[in-house]
């Protein structure tokens, strides 16, 4: 409750407030109602009984007489008459209906304020207790999640932040308190692209990464077209269209990784996915690159290509639909959750010189997670050959990962 002025306990304080008012105003300006309003503003709380009203009137009259005594030498006849009138009418004034109403309103307002303060204090206490309970509960929950296996943690995240067991790590918002847990889980489940290269490939990639100049590059025969593009400074231009990138970059860096395998064939330029044709409830999807199995005529990898940002979001949505369809097809064929948990449905997105890999996989029979496996960029000049080595390593690793999916699902 707020501090208040009590008629009995705070009499001296009340007298001082009245005296200050009288001192600062001419006698002709003195008004009992004005003084009472000032006292109410100072939190005076008085039950308007006849006895209390008369006590207030006596207090006011005494202060008026004391103040008049000090001013008498300079007072006028009108001042003397006002004091005489006050002596005779003070009880009538202080017990009038107007004064009663003023004190009643003040008392009611004060009660409402006290109740409001009490309610606010109680609400603050309840909120604080709720926050403490919530913090304790969340701390216990996070400790519990930490003790789960990686698969169990991802299932938990799918249920908590996903939609019907499906969690899109690129779209769905994960609460900040679980970000560390999410990072550890994605690492434990190896959702990012894992290196899958031979010793000989690694040695060649290291030599490429060590190149710092055109002279270094000329010593290696592995660069071919890319080295020529660097030499002519063609990759520094920003006005190339999709066809140019496909002919000079994608076919060299990406397509060549798959054309020498006798189990798959590459389909190019606006070809329709065989996966979506399998399901009546999925629209046919046309994509820029498909890696199709010669054995079962199914698609195991697809890629979309854009020279810039325009259209990329739409391509990514298309890729997610294809990933889900691929997993659905493999599930129908294999009928084994444990095998399905080892498979990833992967699609790729070229945006100019940037290659991004996306994947979707089963975490349990009822839980799917979609994620970005990694991003890699073809450098615009030969001074960043290490970045080109990373791109080649990614494509080689992707190739073996796709072949692993194919061998498991055949």
Q: What is residue 130's DSSP assignment?
A: H
Token representation of residue 207: 């030599």
Q: What is the 3-state secondary structure (H, E, C) of 222-289?
A: CCCHHHHHHHCCHHHCCCCCHHHHHHHHHHHHCHHHCCCCCCEEEEEEEEECCCHHHCCCCCCCEEEE
Strand 166-168 to 367-377 pairing = parallel
- What gap in Å lies between CA 54 and CA 60, rounded to an integer? 10
The residue-averaged pLDDT of 167-187 equals 92
pLDDT at position 1 over 50:
no
pLDDT at position 222 over 60:
no
- What gap in Å lies between CA 163 and CA 179, rounded to an integer? 18
Strand 166-168 to 44-45 pairing = unpaired
The residue-averaged pLDDT of 42-70 equals 89
- What gap in Å lies between CA 218 and CA 233, rounded to an integer? 16
List pLDDT tens digits, range 260-307: 778 889 888 778 898 888 888 888 889 999 999 888 888 999 999 999
Torsion sign over Cα 4, 7, 9, 13 = positive
Spatial neighbors of 330 by CB under 8 A, at least 6 apart, are 340, 343, 345, 409
Count other Cβ atoms within 10 Å, centred on residue 93. Answer: 18
Share of residues in the chain with pLDDT > 70 (%)? 93
Contact predicate 337/364, CB 8 Å: yes
Place of tokens 């009546």: 280
- What gap in Å lies between CA 254 and CA 251, rounded to an integer? 6
Cα–Cα–Cα angle for 259, 261, 264, rounded to 5 degrees: 85
Question: For residue 229, what pLDDT is reported?
Answer: 85
- What gap in Å lies between CA 398 and CA 196, rounded to an integer? 8
List pLDDT tens digits, range 309-363: 999 999 999 999 999 999 998 888 887 878 888 889 999 999 999 999 999 999 9
| Cα maximum dimension of the chain | 125
Q: What pTM value is reported for the model? A: 0.67
List pLDDT tens digits, range 180-215: 889 999 999 999 999 998 888 888 888 888 887 777
Question: For residue 133, what pLDDT is reported?
Answer: 65
- Domains in the chain, ordered, with CATH? 5-115 (no CATH), 199-409 (3.90.1570.30)
Place of tokens 């450098």: 379
Q: What is the 3-state secondary structure (H, E, C) of 133-196?
A: HHHHHHHHHHHHHHCCCHHHHHHHHHHHHCECCEEECCCCCCCHHHHHHHHHHHHHCCCCCCCC
The residue-averaged pLDDT of 9-29 equals 91
Pick the residue with more confidence: 380 or 143?
A: 380
Phi, psi of 110 (to 5 degrees): -65, -40
The residue-averaged pLDDT of 360-376 equals 94
């Amino acid at each position: 409750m707020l501090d208040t002025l009590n008629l009995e306990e705070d009499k001296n304080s009340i007298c001082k407030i009245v005296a200050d008012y009288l001192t600062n105003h001419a006698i002709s300006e003195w008004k009992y109602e004005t003084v009472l309003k000032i006292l109410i503003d100072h939190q005076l709380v008085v039950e308007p009984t006849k006895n209390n009203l008369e006590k207030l009137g006596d207090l006011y009259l005494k202060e008026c007489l004391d103040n008049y005594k000090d001013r008498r030498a300079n007072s006028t006849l009108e001042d003397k008459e006002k004091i005489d009138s006050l002596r005779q009418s003070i009880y009538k004034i202080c017990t009038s209906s107007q004064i009663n109403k003023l004190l009643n309103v003040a008392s009611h307002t004060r009660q409402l304020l006290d109740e409001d303060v009490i309610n606010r204090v109680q609400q603050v206490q309840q909120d604080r207790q709720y926050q403490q309970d919530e913090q304790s509960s969340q701390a216990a929950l996070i400790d519990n999640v930490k003790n789960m296996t990686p698969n169990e943690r991802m299932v938990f995240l799918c249920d908590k932040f996903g939609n019907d067991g499906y969690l899109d790590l690129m779209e769905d918002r994960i609460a900040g308190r679980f970000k560390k847990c999410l990072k550890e889980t994605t690492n434990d489940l190896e959702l990012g692209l894992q290196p899958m290269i031979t010793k000989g490939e690694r040695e060649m990639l290291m030599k490429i990464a060590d190149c710092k100049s055109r002279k270094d590059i000329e010593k290696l025969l592995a660069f071919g077209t890319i080295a020529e593009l660097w030499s002519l400074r063609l990759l520094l231009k920003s006005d190339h269209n999709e066809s140019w990138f496909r002919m000079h970059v994608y076919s060299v860096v990406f397509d060549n990784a798959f054309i020498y395998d006798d189990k798959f064939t590459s389909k190019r330029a606006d070809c329709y996915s065989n996966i979506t044709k399998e399901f009546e409830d999925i629209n046919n999807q046309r994509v820029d690159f498909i890696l199709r199995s010669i054995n079962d005529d199914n698609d195991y990898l697809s890629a979309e290509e854009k020279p810039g940002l325009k259209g990329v979001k739409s391509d990514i949505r298309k890729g997610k639909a294809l990933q889900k369809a691929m997993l659905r097809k493999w599930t129908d064929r294999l009928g084994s959750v444990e095998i399905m948990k080892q498979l990833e449905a992967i699609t790729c997105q070229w945006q100019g010189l940037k290659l991004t890999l996306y994947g979707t996989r089963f975490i349990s029979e009822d839980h799917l997670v979609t994620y970005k496996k990694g991003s890699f960029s073809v450098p615009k000049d030969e001074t960043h050959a290490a970045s080109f080595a990373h791109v080649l390593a990614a494509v080689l690793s992707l190739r073996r990962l796709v072949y692993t999916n194919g061998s498991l699902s055949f």
